[in-house]
Amino acid sequence: MSTDIDTSSKSLSGKRISESTINRLSLYYRALSLLEKEGYETVSSKVLARREKLTPAQVRKDLSFFGSFGTRGLGYPVADLKKEIAVILGIDRVWRVALVGIGNIGSALVSYKEFARQGFQIVKLFDNDQRKIGSNHKGIIVSDINNLATELAEDNIEMVVLTVPATVAQYIVDEIVKAGIKAILNFAPVNLKVPDDIYLRNENMSMELEYLSFAIVNNHTQKKVKL
């Protein structure tokens, strides 16, 4: 994991919402989905916190930035709160996503059900390899990356997942930006330069292993959930 978008935005009424808060909303959403399936109608900040290894105060504070969703003495209505969070996160809709780079990680993500489950629909694939162009992945035909700009526009793509080699990532991201895409999730282990108005986020899987390595070697003590 890793990124480029700010932490301190003024989203709502001028309040600054931290990145950590947004990330925790994702966790709450996931926990609420589960609670809903388990048949719970309400849930307290205490229970929600325990489920995601956070504190009740943190849960209440996070939610309070966006409104008053609970009932004193009772807790939060599971189904309603889930919907509210979906609206806040913008996942109460389907996002049309393109994926560029049909390598190991890229092809895996095409079949990754969790994306679709959260409303991120991969509807377009691109590669520069003639052997891959025209091939079918989960019902999607791989397009030639040279047609990126026109095809992204034609298909109303709003986000791009970038799974190309690090060496070409900057070139490709420039093309994606030129094509008018505003949100990019980059898996290449490289720091990409993008204009200020582009949302870029980096997924750096080695970094997580490096953290584990550091933890073992330095006898790190455990305390909190990292987001």
Partner DNA sequence: AATGTAATGTGAAAAGCTTCACAATTGAAT
Partner DNA sequence: ATTCAATTGTGAAGCTTTTCACATTACATT
Q: In angstroms, what is the minimal distance from the CB of 62 to a copy of itself? A: 13
CB of 197 to DNA, least distance (A): 20
Provide the token pair at 213: 């390595």
Size of site (CB under 7 A) for DNA: 29
Residue 69 binds which of DNA, a copy of itself, none (CB < 5-8 A, kind-dependent): DNA
Q: Kindly state whether residue 65 participates in binding a copy of itself, applying the rule CB under 8 A.
A: no
Q: Which of a copy of itself, DNA, none is residue 73 near (CB under 5 to 8 Å by kind)?
A: DNA
What is the distance between the alpha carbons of residues 72 and 101, in angstroms, rounded to a whole number?
A: 50
State yes or no: residue 96 binds a copy of itself (CB under 8 A): no
Distance CA 73, CA 119 (A): 34
Q: Which residue number, 12 or 74, has a Cβ lying nearer to DNA? A: 74
Closest CB to DNA among residues 75, 106: 75
Which listed residue (109, 145, 148, 157) binds a copy of itself by CB under 8 A? 109
Q: At what angle do helices 19-37 and 56-64 cross, to 10 degrees?
A: 110
Instruction: Spell out the alpha helix ranges (H) of 5-74.
Output: 19-37, 45-51, 56-64
How many whole angstroms separate alpha carbon 175 and alpha carbon 50? 44
Residue 158: strand, helix, or coil: coil
List the x/- string, 10-49, binding to a copy of itself by CB under 8 A.
Answer: xxx----x-x--xx-xxx-xxx------------------
Among 32, 49, 63, 97, binds a copy of itself (CB under 8 A): 97
**From CA 220, how far away is CA 212, in angstroms rounded?**
9
Can residue 155 be called a binding residue for a copy of itself (CB under 8 A)?
no
In this chain, which stretch among 71-79, 128-136, 156-164, 172-180 interacts with a copy of itself, using CB under 8 A? 156-164
Tokens 């393109």 found at: 98
Please give the residues from 76 up to 95 whose contact with DNA meets the rule CB under 7 A: 76
Nearest Cα residue to 2 out of 173, 211, 225, 217: 211
Helix (H) or strand (E) holding 104: helix 104-110
d(CA 151, CA 157): 9
Window 149-188: residues binding DNA (CB under 7 A): none
- When binding is defined by CB under 7 A, the residue of 31, 32, 54, 122 that contacts DNA is 54
